[in-house]
């Protein structure tokens, strides 16, 4: 009993409240009941008085179960965790942030989720909107008339319901919109006054099953018949894999499509696993720019099928370099439904011959069905082509300095006999460093190029993978990790095992490359590129920052022969349920041989 009085931790860090007393019902209880009906197990949050009503309802009305709270040390982490969870599950998780100030902290992470087209349910609060009910000062500065305006340009939809009776609709609509492709974050802001309003007769709970997201947008059958014929007759078809589902069956359908066409497949390093990268039809390893093998495939393609490619026009341009694009382009995408006038994340307008406004999954299934009717091809596609040879990773022998490919080699060696998930690659990563054999082997990048998202997103992914036996591995640049470092605490607190490997070049190295590039272009000394970029002294003690939050800190590993044994030790700790952070001193450098385009254009 004593334990319960103090508040209790159950396995997996569940904080169990005392049984609730009191018989009244409040506006926020109505919101909490609807939230529970969505059947989402977690809500990540950082607290604030603007939603003390909802907070109380989640703890005392719902008992902190279904959903369970995950306390975060920064709003960015709360959003990042929901984002990472969606990358694995394909479903929206919830986050709650405080009034305008918490929402301001959340913005970059929201932008990442938006650009990554990941569903996410963000809740917040404001007010009381009734000025007569505001406390002096604090309620005034934390009340904004149009809270959604802060984030409207990179959320799919937002609302501020004007009565308790309107809460259910706002919550249900938010989920429906977030989980409809193109997916993305939605925001519902609850007025403090309404949350804290006594409710004499709570409204009946709507039947949540009737407010689900719609079935995926399917292609028109006549168009599919034409496209199937075009693809079937193609001599050198290419498929660009973009934002596709991480579902196993959808993966198999994509493999089936590529195999029945003999199409070469190009994947995207910024997106999660879409196709087996060791398959003979995988054109070439992905890079942060289009790699040479992919350029060759696109230059010679007669038909290109783009399945929600993230940057169709950019990819075509990188391949053709201004020459006319004679291949027929088929674009399968619903992304334009989300485009607005503020964010240019829709990227360059692509030339397209056949535009199918449908989602990749039903389109691939329909194409497979249609192609089966057409029978086998008469001649093999891509006559004479040899599959690309995988590049050997560097040897781990010796005690010399460590490079990022060494880190990949050691991680591959340490996980050779098991399933793992690379939840996040650093900027210095390349597709050749990590084979993708199933959709959860690799989750892609942060979405919006917002540095600092790596730790939070990785923890969200690890939460979704907890108990599956698959090892979550997050490889972060030191700059990325240090911006998001306090996300670690949430993983430790709620027993979310994960391995972090920090490729520490003591620099925002990507931007050193920019300074070098510019200095050379301007005839100025490139040697000065390190100033305002390198984190030289005081030395950042990353293992200590991990230990300071209850995680295990390993390293700094600076010699090659220490790398594999340290990773093995750290992995054993993660298998025992721990959060482990391995700090690895790496040589600066982005090694991506065969990448088309200047190295200095990796990121902003
Ligand atoms: C929030 C944010 N701030 C700054 C940048 C600019 N930026 C892009 S990459 C980068 C460096 C990241 O450093 P690190 O993670 O250590 O990777 P490295 O470049 O050293 O490999 C910076 C500062 C950004 N994209 N996002
Ligand atoms: Mg760095």
* pLDDT tens digits, one per residue of 166-213: 999 999 999 999 999 999 999 999 999 999 999 999 899 999 999 999
| pTM greater than 0.75 (yes/no) | yes
Q: How far is the CA of 186 from the centre of ligand 1 (A)?
A: 27
pLDDT at 13: 75
What average pLDDT does the segment 269-281 reach?
97
pLDDT at 390: 80
Decide whether any atom of ligand 1 lies within 6 Å of the 586 Cβ. no
What average pLDDT does the segment 563-579 reach?
98
- Counting ligand 1 atoms within 8 A of each CB, the residue from 77, 106, 451, 454 with the most, and so the one to mutate, is 451
pLDDT at 22: 86
In 206-245 the beta strands, taken as DSSP E runs, fall at 237-241
CB 195 within 8 A of CB 28: yes
CB 44 within 8 A of CB 490: yes
In 453-578 the beta strands, taken as DSSP E runs, fall at 471-477, 498-504, 552-557
Q: Following CA atoms 567, 573, 578, 583 in sequence, which dihedral angle do they give, to the nearest 10 degrees?
A: -20
Question: Does the pLDDT of residue 593 top 50, yes or no?
Answer: no
- Counting ligand 1 atoms within 8 A of each CB, the residue from 77, 427, 485 with the most, and so the one to mutate, is 427
Phi-psi region of 322 (alpha: psi -120 to 50; beta: other; left: phi over 0): left
CA distance 508 to 395: 27
pLDDT at 602: 42
CA distance 7 to 279: 52
pLDDT at 591: 57
Q: How far is the CA of 604 from the centre of ligand 1 (A)?
A: 8
Which residue lies with its CA nearest to atom 4 of ligand 1?
A: 451
Phi-psi region of 428 (alpha: psi -120 to 50; beta: other; left: phi over 0): alpha
Q: Which residues of 21-56 are buried (b: 16+ CB within 10 A; e: fewer)?
A: eeeebbbbbbbbbbbbbbebebbbbbebebbbbbbb
Question: Does the pLDDT of residue 597 top 60, yes or no?
Answer: no
Q: Which atom of ligand 1 is nearest to the CA of 590?
A: 21
Over pLDDT 70: what percentage of the chain? 96
Q: How far is the CA of 24 from the centre of ligand 1 (A)?
A: 50
Helices (H) and strands (E) in the chain, counts: 20, 18
Q: How far is the CA of 603 from the centre of ligand 2 (A)?
A: 13
Which residue lies with its CA nearest to atom 7 of ligand 1?
A: 604
Q: How far is the CA of 438 from the centre of ligand 2 (A)?
A: 29
Decide whether any atom of ligand 1 lies within 6 Å of the 510 Cβ. yes
Report the side by side order of strands in the sheet with 120-126: 68-71, 42-45, 94-96, 120-126, 185-191, 157-159
Decide whether any atom of ligand 1 lies within 6 Å of the 108 Cβ. yes
Which H or E element spans position 94? strand 94-96
Nearest ligand, CA of residue 603? 1
CA distance 78 to 487: 8
Which residue lies with its CA nearest to atom 2 of ligand 1?
A: 451
pLDDT grade, residue 111 (50/70/90)?
A: very high
Q: How far is the CA of 196 from the centre of ligand 1 (A)?
A: 42
* pLDDT tens digits, one per residue of 500-550: 999 999 999 999 999 999 999 999 999 999 999 999 989 999 999 999 999
Q: Which atom of ligand 1 is nearest to the CA of 450?
A: 26
Q: How far is the CA of 419 from the centre of ligand 2 (A)?
A: 28
The DSSP string of 290-318 is -BHHHHHHHHH-SEEEEES-TTHHHHHHH
Question: Does the pLDDT of residue 378 top 90, yes or no?
Answer: no
Decide whether any atom of ligand 1 lies within 6 Å of the 426 Cβ. yes
Q: How far is the CA of 428 from the centre of ligand 1 (A)?
A: 11
Q: Which atom of ligand 1 is nearest to the CA of 427?
A: 21
CA distance 65 to 258: 44
Question: Does the pLDDT of residue 5 top 90, yes or no?
Answer: no
Which residue lies with its CA nearest to atom 5 of ligand 1?
A: 451
Q: Which atom of ligand 1 is nearest to the CA of 481?
A: 15
User: For the chain, how many residues are written?
Assistant: 604
Task: State both tokens at 192.
Answer: 């403090």
Decide whether any atom of ligand 1 lies within 6 Å of the 534 Cβ. no
pLDDT at 8: 58
pLDDT grade, residue 313 (50/70/90)?
A: very high
Residue 43: helix, strand or coil by DSSP? strand
Task: State both tokens at 367.
Answer: 């194409």
Q: Which atom of ligand 1 is nearest to the CA of 483?
A: 1
Burial of 244 (0-12, 13-18, 19+ CB in 10 A): buried
Decide whether any atom of ligand 1 lies within 6 Å of the 266 Cβ. no
What average pLDDT does the segment 443-468 reach?
97
pLDDT grade, residue 592 (50/70/90)?
A: low
CA atoms within 13 A on the CB side of 456: 32
* pLDDT tens digits, one per residue of 472-495: 999 999 999 999 999 999 999 999
CA distance 4 to 7: 5
Question: What are the distances in angstroms from CA 453 to CA 75, 82, 148, 410?
Answer: 11, 11, 22, 24
Max CA-CA distance within the chain?
79
Decide whether any atom of ligand 1 lies within 6 Å of the 261 Cβ. no
Decide whether any atom of ligand 1 lies within 6 Å of the 508 Cβ. yes
CA distance 423 to 83: 11
pLDDT grade, residue 388 (50/70/90)?
A: confident
* pLDDT tens digits, one per residue of 319-354: 999 999 999 999 999 999 999 999 999 999 999 999
Question: Does the pLDDT of residue 103 top 90, yes or no?
Answer: yes
CA distance 115 to 287: 19
């Amino acid at each position: 009993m004593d334990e319960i009085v103090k508040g209790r931790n159950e396995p997996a860090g569940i904080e169990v409240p005392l049984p609730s007393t009191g018989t009244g019902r409040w506006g926020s209880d109505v919101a909490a009941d609807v939230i529970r009906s969505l059947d989402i197990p977690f809500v990540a949050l950082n607290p604030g008085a603007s939603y003390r009503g909802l907070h109380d309802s989640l703890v005392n009305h719902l008992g902190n179960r279904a959903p369970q709270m995950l306390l975060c040390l920064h709003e960015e982490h709360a959003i990042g965790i929901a984002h990472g969870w969606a990358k694995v599950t394909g479903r929206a998780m919830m986050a709650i942030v405080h009034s305008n100030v918490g929402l301001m902290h959340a913005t970059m992470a929201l932008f990442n989720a938006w650009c990554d087209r990941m569903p996410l349910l963000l809740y917040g609060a404001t007010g009381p909107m009734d000025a007569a009910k505001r406390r002096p000062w604090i309620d005034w500065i934390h009340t904004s008339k149009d809270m959604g305006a802060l984030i409207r340009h990179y959320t799919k939809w937002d609302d501020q319901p004007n009565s308790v009776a309107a809460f259910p609709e706002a919550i249900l609509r938010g989920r429906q919109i977030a989980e409809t492709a193109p997916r993305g974050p939605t925001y519902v802001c609850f007025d403090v006054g309404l949350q804290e309003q006594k409710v004499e007769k709570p409204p009946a709970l709507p039947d949540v099953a009737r407010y689900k997201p719609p079935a995926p947008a399917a292609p028109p059958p006549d168009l599919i018949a034409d496209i199937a014929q075009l693809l079937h007759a193609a001599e050198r078809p290419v498929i660009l894999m973009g934002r596709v589902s991480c579902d196993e069956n959808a993966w198999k359908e994509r493999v089936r499509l590529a195999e029945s066409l003999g199409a070469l497949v190009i994947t995207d390093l910024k997106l999660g696993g879409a196709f087996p990268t060791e398959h003979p039809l995988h054109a070439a390893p992905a890079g942060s720019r289009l790699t040479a093998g992919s350029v060759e495939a696109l230059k010679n393609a007669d038909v290109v099928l783009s399945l929600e490619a993230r940057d169709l026009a950019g990819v075509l341009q990188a391949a053709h370099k201004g020459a006319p694009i004679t291949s027929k382009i088929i674009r399968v995408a619903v992304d334009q439904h989300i485009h607005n006038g503020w964010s240019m994340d829709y990227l360059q307008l692509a030339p397209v011959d056949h535009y199918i406004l449908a989602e990749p999954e039903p389109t691939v299934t329909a194409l497979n069905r249609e192609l089966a009717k057409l029978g086998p091809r008469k001649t093999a596609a891509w006559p004479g082509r040899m599959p690309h040879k995988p590049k050997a990773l560097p040897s781990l022998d010796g005690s010399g300095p460590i490079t990022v490919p060494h880190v990949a080699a050691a991680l591959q060696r340490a996980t050779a006999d098991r399933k793992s998930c690379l939840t996040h690659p650093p900027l210095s990563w390349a597709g050749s460093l990590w084979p993708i054999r199933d959709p959860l082997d690799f989750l892609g990048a942060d979405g919006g190029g917002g540095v600092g998202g790596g730790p939070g997103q990785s923890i969200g992914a690890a939460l979704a993978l907890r108990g599956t036996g698959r090892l979550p591995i997050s490889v972060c640049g030191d700059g990325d990790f240090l911006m998001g470092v306090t996300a670690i605490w949430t993983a430790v607190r709620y027993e979310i095992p994960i391995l972090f490997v920090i490729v520490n070049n003591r620099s925002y190295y990507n931007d050193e490359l920019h300074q070098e590039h510019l200095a050379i272009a301007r005839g100025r000394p490139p040697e000065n590129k390190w100033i305002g970029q390198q984190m030289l002294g005081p030395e950042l003690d990353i293992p200590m920052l991990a230990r300071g939050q209850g995680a295990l800190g390993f390293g700094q590993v600076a010699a090659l022969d220490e790398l594999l044994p340290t990773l093995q030790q750290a992995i054993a700790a993660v298998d025992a349920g721990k959060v482990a952070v391995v700090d690895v001193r790496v040589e600066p450098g982005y090694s991506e041989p065969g990448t088309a385009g200047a190295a200095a254009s990796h990121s902003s």
